[in-house]
Amino acid sequence: MYKLAIVGFGVVGQGLAEILLEHRERLKKEHGFEYSVVAVSDFVKGAAYDPKGLDLAKLLALAKENGISQYPGAKTGWNAIDTIVKSNADVVVEATYTDIKTAEPAYSHFKAALNSGKHLVTTNKGPTALFFREVAALAKSKKVQFRYEGTVMSGTPALNLVALCLAGNEIREIRGIVNGTTNFILTNMEKRKSYADALKEAQDLGFAEAVPDADVEGFDAMAKVVILAKAVMGADLKVADVDRTGITRITLDDINNAKAEGKRWKLIGRVAREGGAVRASVRPEKLDVADPLAGVGGATNALTFSTDLIRNVTIIGPGAGKIETGYSILVDLLAINRTAPAARPAAPKKPAPKKTAKKAAKRMKKIRKRAKKAGR
Ligand SMILES: NC(=O)c1ccc[n+]([C@@H]2O[C@H](COP(=O)([O-])OP(=O)(O)OC[C@H]3O[C@@H](n4cnc5c(N)ncnc54)[C@H](OP(=O)(O)O)[C@@H]3O)[C@@H](O)[C@H]2O)c1
């Protein structure tokens, strides 16, 4: 039975809670995965801790009213660090906001979790991109796991695909669409909308933030590219090493001219091994329509892995979303369950084995024989 602490109970934290609540029985039956959410801590929605476990339906309802701290009978008022360090959780799920410049407060949460000997599962790109090596080394030294599938392409299996299914290949290049908002905007511009109108529509639909720079200037894609470079290619790459250009200068004319040439503009993140080094970039590229990435429209993400043994493998799937990203945490939890099983409650002591029927019959035969001999 895993005891989970969820730090950051926004879209992703609640997505995970909904999945866990709805699929408890199937996860137990098909994967032997049993869990108890013992703590939740969120900046505004509140915090609650019960070492015996919290009711997820109640938590989700209270979160809607920013009332988690009203959870009846629970310890309340703990901040994220208290929750991580003082709770009896054995896995910390970190889903607070991403800060790609400082990585805080999430980096402190990461270190607190690992230093307390707890497994860490995250969707947070900030500390994963900036401090990947440090976090991975700390997890190793504490003999716990650091898992981060949801940091690239949300629940679409990009990182686990490389680690498991492409194992044994040398990954020579990874290129693709790792930011759904910019792909949505570019796809909409193909319908003759200006950049400003396409951005506004993305904002109205909740794909883009009011201040859209993280997406449209390529910072979000840059963080993902750095994670791929570090986690897949073992590169010691800094965010400043990424040659980054966003989509803000792409005009309707550019889109139409590309169309006339049988091409499409996409914001492409790329990591490649070149002459003993790993180079990374994020920039708009004009792709031939025959390129599998050119056909990926809307907010969908895609990555092509170029390998030495099986050449090119392209995956296409969601790169964001409540359930999609919550799923990325689930898949990491299942991986921990497979590779570092949680301590099971001690099984009740078995009574001393009874003598078998055969042994008992043999003994009776001996007794009767002795009695007969003695004339009894
Ligand atoms: N949403 C997606 O589709 C997606 C996909 C891939 C990766 N991610 C990443 O996953 C993480 C979570 O995303 P999200 O969409 O769930 O964001 P979100 O809805 O903004 O949720 C983040 C939550 O963290 C809380 N928080 C912030 N600082 C905190 C602290 N110090 N202690 C405790 N709670 C704190 C926030 O609290 P208040 O708002 O209550 O103040 C908020 O509820 C981000 O790092 C994001 O980049 C998201």
Distance from residue 218's CA to the centre of ligand 1 (Å):
20
Query: Active site includes 224?
Result: yes
Distance from residue 368's CA to the centre of ligand 1 (Å):
79
Residue ranges, comma separated, of all CATH 3.30.360.10 domains in the chain are: 159-317
Q: What is the number of the ligand 1 atom nearest to the C-alpha of 13?
A: 16
pLDDT at 368: 66
Residue ranges, comma separated, of all CATH 3.40.50.720 domains in the chain are: 2-155+323-339
Task: For residues 336 and 354, give the distance between their C-alpha atoms in angstroms, rounded to a whole number.
Answer: 39
pLDDT at 365: 72
Return the closest-CA partner of residue 172 out of 268, 301, 315, 304.
304
Task: For residues 292 and 4, give the distance between their C-alpha atoms in angstroms, rounded to a whole number.
Answer: 39
Which residue has its alpha carbon closest to ligand 1 atom 19?
A: 10
The catalytic position among 3, 125, 224, 230 is 224
Q: What is the number of the ligand 1 atom nearest to the C-alpha of 11?
A: 16
Distance from residue 123's CA to the centre of ligand 1 (Å):
9
Which residue has its alpha carbon closest to ligand 1 atom 7?
A: 123
Query: Tokens in use for 14?
Result: 């609640």
Distance from residue 353's CA to the centre of ligand 1 (Å):
55
Pocket, ligand 1, Cβ cutoff 6 A: 7-13, 41-45, 80, 95-98, 105, 123-125, 150, 154, 320-321, 325
Contact 153, 180 (CB under 8 A): no
Task: For residues 262 and 101, give the distance between their C-alpha atoms in angstroms, rounded to a whole number.
Answer: 38
Contact 93, 69 (CB under 8 A): no
Distance from residue 60's CA to the centre of ligand 1 (Å):
15
Q: What is the number of the ligand 1 atom nearest to the C-alpha of 106?
A: 31
pLDDT at 354: 55
Rounded to the nearest 10°, the torsion over CA 118, 124, 130, 133 is 30
pTM value is 0.90
pLDDT at 356: 54
For residue 90, give the DSSP letter. Answer: S
pLDDT at 7: 98
Choose one of 97, 325, 329 to mutate for the ligand 1 pocket test, by most ligand atoms within 8 angstroms of C-beta.
Answer: 97
Distance from residue 12's CA to the centre of ligand 1 (Å):
7
Which residue has its alpha carbon closest to ligand 1 atom 18?
A: 10
> Per-block average pLDDT, block size 10, for the chain (376 residues)?
97 97 97 97 97 98 97 96 98 97 97 98 98 98 97 96 96 98 96 94 90 96 98 95 97 95 97 95 97 96 98 96 96 95 60 57 67 55
pLDDT at 69: 96
Query: Tokens in use for 267?
Result: 């914001």
Which CATH architecture describes the domain 159-317?
A: 2-Layer Sandwich (3.30)
Q: What is the number of the ligand 1 atom nearest to the C-alpha of 105?
A: 31
Reply yes or no on domain 2-155+323-339 having CATH 3.40.50.360: no
Task: For residues 133 and 73, give the distance between their C-alpha atoms in angstroms, rounded to a whole number.
Answer: 40
